A = this chain, B = another copy of it.
Amino acid sequence: MTIPAPLTGVVPPVCTPLTPSREVDVPSLLRLVDHLVRSGVHGLFVLGTSSEAAYLTDAQRRLVVETVTGHVGGQLPVLAGAIDLTTPRVLDHVASVAAAGADAVVVISPFYTSTHPAEIARHYRLVAAASPVPVLAYDLPGAVHTKLPAELVLSLAAEGVLAGLKDSSGDLGAFREVVVGARTRGDINGFSVLTGSELLVDAALAAGADGAVPGLANVDPEGYVRLDRLCRVGDWERARVEQERLCALFGMVKAGDPARMGASSAALGAFKAALYLRGVIECPVTAEPQVPLSEREIEGVGKFLSGAGLL
């Protein structure tokens, strides 16, 4: 299907359930997709950071996209990440996910190498030229150690290179510059500005964002759909209350002991533990080399679910 321009609403970055031996757990993945679609989300984003794309082999990535696109069958747009180091490698992923039925690709800046803004622009131009589907930029400086400059995003939008932005930078000031630029510049049309934040969806939508891609929407898609709706009707006070409930729920990402594991292990482990406790997926295991949550830490995640009325 053609993705809407702009794409609006809640587009969860779909977790990738794994079996105890770290294979993709297809039945759990299908249950998770149903759980999301039933809650009224507006699109799905597979192979993002919350999907553990960084940990999936090429074969697993392909299986995930095929499974999800096959299952939703055009009911709602499916975006797919193409996370790799540089242009030639990203192009292989773009070809693969497009062949597997993705409606758009989400592409990160080059990383690992020392990259100049001119090279980032070159990267997106080359990717867009070769991609059979629209390209969204993925701004995740915590992972790639460069921030996509707002002006660069806007000029690539005006050129027709980029169809949208998923901003996971945490920098709402710079995000706002893109939102306002996309609306007020005469040369940009239908550009999708999406926040990747769990904590600032109300603020991002109030500032004019089109939608949100919060990892926590795996756990509580109804909450984010409700929040999105409250924002769209301008009921900012109730939106704030809903957002604060979700902020409290997000506290689960600190259930894992930071002395024992990194922030990725803790956050992705918590999301999967919550999906497991809610009965959506079979097994809370995360990919290697992430440190698994202990039973006690999983119980800690459960307390966040109870606190948010989800257990």
Bound-state CA distance A143–B145 (Å) is: 10
A233 CB contacts on chain B under 8 angstroms: none
CA distance A113 to B212 in the complex (A): 21
**Residues of chain B lying within 8 A (CB to CB) of residue A91:** 57
* A287–B173 CA distance with the chains assembled, in angstroms: 27
The reply to whether B180 and A244 form a contact with Cβ atoms under 8 Å apart is yes
Contact with B along A264-298 (1 / 0, CB 8 A): 11000000000000000000000111110000000
Select which of B111, B171, B247 is within 8 A of A170 by beta carbon.
B171
Q: How many residues belonging to A are interface residues under a CB distance threshold of 8 Å? A: 69
Interface centre among A123, A259, A262 (most CB of B within 10 A): A262
User: In the complex, what residues of B have CB within 8 A of residue A210's CB?
Assistant: none
- A88 surroundings in chain B (CB, below 8 A): 22, 55-57, 60, 287-288
Contact call A177/B247, Cβ cutoff below 8 A: yes
- In this complex, what residue of B is CB-closest to A244? B180
- Residue A230 lies at the interface, judged by CB distance under 8 Å to chain B: no
Q: Which residues of B contact A126 (CB under 8 A)?
A: 288-289
| Contact of A35 with B by CB under 8 A | no
Interface residue ranges of A97-137 to B (CB < 8 Å):
110-116, 118-120, 122-123, 126
Given known A-B contacts A87-B55, A143-B113, A264-B115, A122 and B176 have beta carbons under 8 A apart = no
Question: How many Å from the CB of A154 to the closest CB on chain B?
Answer: 13
Pick the contact of A57: B92, B236, B261 (CB < 8 A).
Answer: B92
8 Å CB contact of A207 from B92, B234, B240 = B240
Contacting chain B: which of A6-14, A196-204, A300-308?
A196-204
Chain B residues near A248 (CB, 8 Å)? 180
Query: Bound complex: CA of A58 vs CA of B88, how far in Å?
Result: 10
On whether the beta carbons of A197 and B173 are closer than 8 Å, the reply is: yes
Sample (7) of A-B pairs whose CB atoms are under 8 Å apart: A57-B88, A86-B288, A114-B142, A120-B289, A126-B288, A172-B200, A180-B248
Top 8 A-B pairs ranked by shortest CB distance?
A: A116-B262, A173-B199, A122-B289, A123-B289, A114-B263, A113-B264, A203-B203, A87-B288
